[in-house]
Structure 1
Amino acid sequence: LISAADYAANYGTYDEKLAKMVAADQAEVDGYYSQVFATTKVDLNGQKDPGVRTEETNLGDFTADAYLYAGREYVKEQGLDISVDVALSNGGGIRASVPAGEITMNDLYTVFPYGNTVALVTITGEQLLEVLEASTFCTPTAIGGFPQIAGAEYTVNTVVPYENGAQYPDSTYYAPANPGSRVTITSIGGKPFDPKANYTVAVNSFQAEGGDTYYVLTQGSYMQDTGIVDAEALISYVDSLGGVIDETYAEPQGRIKIVSKPVENPETTVPEETTEPEKPVEPEVEAPKTEAEVSPTKLYTVVAGDSLWKIAQKELGNGSKWKQIYETNKKQISNPNRIYVGQELVINQ
């Protein structure tokens, strides 16, 4: 703290009366925000890794729900002719867990300490898919942009390699070369995802301004900052629940699935893998086959725009067989995300 004498020497006359008034006001504000105003019956997980930067958590669900609630209440109050469909809360913005028990407003300001505001952005389904793909490009490795979500469900298939497209302006992040190859949006508002439809998304102002992996949000057709501080959105949402966060939030609600297994078609919903027992087959006596008949091969020359996924889809009829091509050629492929035009690859049919 600076002394009154030093203050007067450097900045002018120190007003003792004004300083006491400011201190009294600050004490009143601190007292108000430190009062218990709600309770949570469950621990809310705001850990980083594993946690809000790698996977869906119950606090991630709660914060996204609060954004969605705040956005919809704002639209009603302002009489706007739009529907708020989805909310995204970047995991890096969630800075603390909330243990079960009493909650003060200061607790929720600890979760969201940056003072971002809730914003509404209207984008197309294709743009939403790009946002989710770019923001999970390294999943399951932690990333601050990891999107906790409300109003929709999506799946990330970590088996599919992320291919960099164009670099976002003034950013270290890249757009996905093939949006939808790793991420599938399974539903929005309980309805099938439509890439051509417009969706209004509630996000924080950092995301709306294109922070981290969210550049595409700056390209939306509509943006409105509600002026509602994100921590205040949490407080209002808790109030709407009657001041109690109950067992509804005991566990993540299944909005995000992280899978690491091959799928038949990356453009469709990723199903849970099921195996049927094989039926016994009577052995047949066959003439011995030549090596070429057992494993016919061909040489494939890489062309512009190729990836191992695309080559597997084209040559083997299934993009998820890219690993087969990689294993056969890994002496000459140091990184499965990096192949070059003119390279010859052996394809085992």
Structure 2
Amino acid sequence: MRKLAIILVSLSLLVPSFSGLTAAEEDLVEVQLLGLNDWHGQIDYEDYFADFDGDGENDPAGRADYLAAYLKEREATNPENTLLVHAGDMIGGSPLIAASFQDEPVVEIMEAMGMDVGTLGNHEFDEGVDELLRMIHGGDHPDGTEGYDGMNFPVVAANVQYKDTKELLVDPYVIEEVGGQKIAFIGVATTETPSMVIKEGNENVEFTDEAEAINKYVPEIKEQGVRSIVVLAHNPGYQDGDVITGDAADIAENVDDEVDIIFAGHNHVENNGIVDGKLIVQAYAYGTAFSDVDIKIDPATGDIVDKTAEIVTVAQHGMEPDPEVGAILEKYETLVDEIKNEVIGEAAMPLEGGYAERGEQGDNALGNLIADGMKWAMDADMAMMNGGGIRADINEGPITYGEVFTVQPFGNTLVKAELTGESIIQVLNNQLSEPYGPDYSVAGFNYTWNFDAMEVIEVYLPDGTEIDPNEVYTVVVNNYMFGDDDSGIEDLAISSEVGPTDLDATVDYIKSFDEPIEYYAEGRIQEVELVTPLTGNPNASEKAKERLKELAKEGKFKNKNN
């Protein structure tokens, strides 16, 4: 996931019915499928993004007890024929209230809401396969709840298997009977998962092509007389008007036409449309919305002959929270309040984070603070922090432990590696991508880069000198970045040592400030333009450097030092 989408959603959006009605309307069996995706353990999350009561002020949406109330209200419209499903990333990257107990509160709430079937997202692998399987099947954990017995609903994934045996981690699909009709649910997880999770604990797992995995099991499902097939895919879709693109659309184009519906996920946006006759739906993230898919099944054939979808916002205005889920929330809020509310510092201004970006100031305030804290915690020359590991901003005012935990919820450990200047430049080049540009926040140096070349131009040390390609520097990253094949850091490192968690480093760094913290985007990362095009020129890199030096001498380009 490259960017966290801003959640802006109308109260409900309907996609036109895709109908192939063949039987008399009164003979069709109506079934309701309610879908969630990308909850990330955000059971206490609220977002103020729209004015629901018309008073001119934005009102809250989300939170588990309100989500449960909406789902139960919808279920009441078709109580015998409703299923609740999810498309992955329900746990992992979670806030303190969930992560303090290994995300077991999230499972408790999913069960209270009546979850029927789900699949695996990349974040389900955040702590490795063994912990994922414990979450599914049950077992005690030192940080968990006593007597945890796992998930009381099936989790399916047809494309996640062990490398050595080629056996699947979980069942590929499950068949549910609703209103006397059978519906098959096949799960798949994005094949990009290995590049998004730590290696440790996931060494023996691999992800096969999603469409091929689905097509492998469709004939087996059809042999059992099932003609209604739904895919739970932790794969992104991107909708512009009536057109949906991305992995979810590619899956729709390449799977058996017996597949009727795809619940998508991963990129935290809305999808609600038809691709190759398949309905694709996705409902943002963090429990602020859900999808409501109404289908009609011809009992004579078992086929879905009509399907419509609605993306529903979990607006708190006008809705009473569900008391059962509310009691679960209150139980865990009480347990974590003392830790969560500890004030560790004060922000003199809002500190915005996330990924580095294109532009003359590609860095951001919170990313700079976190990277500086990493460098400080391990007494290193430099530090780099991946944008995907910065999950929230810090508000102006008192900074609490819980707030910082929400920013860095993964429990990654810091690694100080020895790298040559040449290797550091290679790592910086590796993190550049189209169309976004840079990823990492940095400390201990600034650098310039060019989009056309997709290449770092110059790297400057705090004293204004250029980095020495042959000099060895100490660079702090987190263990996810260190082991990431795309970064190349582990292979390039001369030596390494493990330090504290990234969260502890940031907390301690914030505590070290005597005054309210002021941090800015200050030009540590700068995109620079070139006068001549680079395409096809084998000497472009050197010419780019020469031209930038000329511009700097002319005062048209200024490198800032930190």
Q: What is the TM-score when the length of structure 2 is the normalising length?
A: 0.36
> Who is 1:154 aligned against?
447
Aligned in 2, Cα 1:63/1:269: closer, same or farther, shift over 3 Å? Answer: farther
CA distance in 2, matches of 1:112, 1:185: 27
Q: Is residue 2:369 matched to residue 1:62?
A: yes
Q: 1:48: Cα distance to partner?
A: 4.9
Q: 1:33: Cα distance to partner?
A: 2.7
- Give, as a single letter, the amino acid of the residue that structure 2 aligns with 1:255: R
Aligned in 2, Cα 1:107/1:265: closer, same or farther, shift over 3 Å? Answer: same
CA distance in 2, matches of 1:237, 1:275: 37
Q: 1:206: Cα distance to partner?
A: 0.6
> 1:202 pairs with 467, 476, 491, which one?
476
Q: Is residue 2:367 matched to residue 1:42?
A: no
Q: 1:68: Cα distance to partner?
A: 0.6
Q: Is residue 2:487 matched to residue 1:214?
A: yes
- Give, as a single letter, the amino acid of the residue that structure 2 aligns with 1:92: G
Q: 1:47: Cα distance to partner?
A: 4.6
8 Å CA contact retained: 1:182, 1:266: no
Q: Is residue 2:428 matched to residue 1:127?
A: no
Q: 1:257: Cα distance to partner?
A: 0.9
Q: 1:117: Cα distance to partner?
A: 1.0
Q: Is residue 2:374 matched to residue 1:101?
A: no
> 1:236 pairs with 497, 501, 508, which one?
508
Q: 1:41: Cα distance to partner?
A: 0.7
8 Å CA contact retained: 1:157, 1:182: yes
- Give, as a single letter, the amino acid of the residue that structure 2 aligns with 1:159: D
Q: 1:153: Cα distance to partner?
A: 0.9
CA distance in 1, matches of 2:341, 2:441: 28
CA distance in 1, matches of 2:396, 2:498: 32
CA distance in 2, matches of 1:238, 1:104: 10
Q: 1:223: Cα distance to partner?
A: 0.8
Q: 1:254: Cα distance to partner?
A: 2.1
Q: Is residue 2:33 matched to residue 1:33?
A: no
> Who is 1:116 aligned against?
412
8 Å CA contact retained: 1:85, 1:189: no
Q: 1:218: Cα distance to partner?
A: 3.0
> Who is 1:333 aligned against?
none
Q: Secondary structure at the match of 1:233?
A: helix
CA distance in 2, matches of 1:142, 1:33: 34
Q: Is residue 2:420 matched to residue 1:142?
A: no
5 Å-filtered alignment, 1:162-177, equals 162=454
> Who is 1:252 aligned against?
521
CA distance in 1, matches of 2:364, 2:501: 22
CA distance in 1, matches of 2:422, 2:440: 16
8 Å CA contact retained: 1:95, 1:112: yes
Q: 1:32: Cα distance to partner?
A: 2.1
Q: 1:151: Cα distance to partner?
A: 0.5
CA deviation digits over 1:290-313, x for unaligned, max 9? Answer: xxxxxxxxxxxxxxxxxxxxxxxx
Aligned in 2, Cα 1:109/1:267: closer, same or farther, shift over 3 Å? Answer: same
CA distance in 1, matches of 2:356, 2:466: 31
Q: What is the TM-score when the length of structure 1 is the normalising length?
A: 0.56
Consecutive unaligned residues of structure 1, counting only runs of 5 or more, are 4-9, 13-17, 73-83, 163-180, 277-349
CA distance in 2, matches of 1:135, 1:70: 23
Consecutive unaligned residues of structure 2, counting only runs of 5 or more, are 1-107, 113-136, 140-144, 148-329, 533-541, 555-562
Q: 1:27: Cα distance to partner?
A: 4.7
CA distance in 1, matches of 2:553, 2:426: 32
8 Å CA contact retained: 1:42, 1:100: yes
CA distance in 1, matches of 2:355, 2:547: 28
8 Å CA contact retained: 1:184, 1:266: no
Q: Is residue 2:496 matched to residue 1:223?
A: yes
CA distance in 2, matches of 1:240, 1:206: 26
CA distance in 2, matches of 1:34, 1:238: 15
Q: What's the Cα RMSD here?
A: 3.5
More divergent stretch after superposition (104-113 vs 261-270): 261-270
Aligned in 2, Cα 1:60/1:198: closer, same or farther, shift over 3 Å? Answer: same
Aligned in 2, Cα 1:146/1:49: closer, same or farther, shift over 3 Å? Answer: closer
Sequence identity, in percent?
27
8 Å CA contact retained: 2:353, 2:367: yes
Larger radius of gyration: 1
CA distance in 1, matches of 2:527, 2:389: 21
Find runs of 4+ consecutive structure 1 residues off by over 6 angstroms: 23-26
Higher strand share: 2
Q: 1:59: Cα distance to partner?
A: 1.0
Q: Is residue 2:457 matched to residue 1:183?
A: yes
Q: 1:25: Cα distance to partner?
A: 10
8 Å CA contact retained: 1:155, 1:270: no
- Give, as a single letter, the amino acid of the residue that structure 1 aligns with 2:399: I
Aligned in 2, Cα 1:11/1:206: closer, same or farther, shift over 3 Å? Answer: closer
Q: Secondary structure at the match of 1:149?
A: strand
Q: Aligned residues, how many?
A: 224
Q: 1:271: Cα distance to partner?
A: 4.3
- Give, as a single letter, the amino acid of the residue that structure 2 aligns with 1:259: V
CA distance in 1, matches of 2:412, 2:138: 32
CA distance in 2, matches of 1:225, 1:275: 42
Higher helix share: 1
